[in-house]
Amino acid sequence: MSDSAAASGSASGAGSNPDPAVAPKKPSPGGSEAAAEQPLPPLTPEHFRVYNRLAEQMDYFHNHFREMWTTLYTACTNGRRPPGTSLRQFIDEGLRLTQYLEAHHSIEESYLYPLLARKMPQFKTTGRHKNDCELLKQHQQIHEGMDVFVAYLQACKNRETELELSVLKEKMDLWGEVLMKHLDQEVKELEADVMRRYWTMDEVKAFPI
């Protein structure tokens, strides 16, 4: 995929492909963002599968994170661990969730977001300022809350303090809302109706993901 594609020309770049599933190349007084909002013809099932591939892959991982979070949070809300789960297993499950999220976000920030940012402004940053990108800002907020969560679980695992589910719930409440918002929003930005406005079929098929 060419690195010359820039977010400012996203809609027009995608429109150069004659594929009717891609946004047509038409001048727009509002620039690329206005072009991206133009109505497009319905996708065929084959085109939808291609354009929706990243969203489906992302949601697969996100559903796993949601399940792990729900198990932990439900235990905290009910005041008891899941049946058959030892204290150590419960603590390790919480630490595992944060490890998975850290690895997932690292891959996104190193590979996926820079790739998508070539044409999609919602993944673009300017220099080192991650706050320019809402999704990266969410990463930062999630990790700030995770740091507090991990510190508490590690202290419990090291027997420096006793695990209290009500306290753990407070630690989860620090980043739970932004986590769930992020898991939903990121998938929506990768759905077929969004991707088709910036990328051709061939470009999406060539994504090394």
pLDDT tens sequence across 70-110: 999 999 999 999 999 999 999 999 999 999 999 999 999 99
Residue 184 inside a domain? The answer is yes
Domain range for residue 158? 53-190
Closest CA to 4 of 82, 118, 171, 120: 118
Q: Judge whether 43 lies within some domain.
A: no
Q: Is residue 118 part of a domain?
A: yes
Q: How much is the average pLDDT of 166-181? A: 98
- Split into its structural domains, the chain has a count of 1
Of all residues in the chain, the percent with pLDDT exceeding 70 is 79
Residue 17 has pLDDT above 70, yes or no: no
The pTM (predicted TM-score) of the whole model is 0.79
pLDDT of residue 35: 47
**165 located within any domain:** yes
Query: Residue 11 domain-assigned?
Result: no
In a domain, residue 26? The reply is no
Question: How far is residue 135's CA from residue 123's CA, in Å, rounded to a whole number?
Answer: 7
- Residue 9 lies inside a defined structural domain of this protein: no
Residue 206 placed within a domain: no
Tell me the C-alpha to C-alpha distance, in Å, between residue 146 and each of 55, 62, 131, 154.
Answer: 25, 16, 18, 12
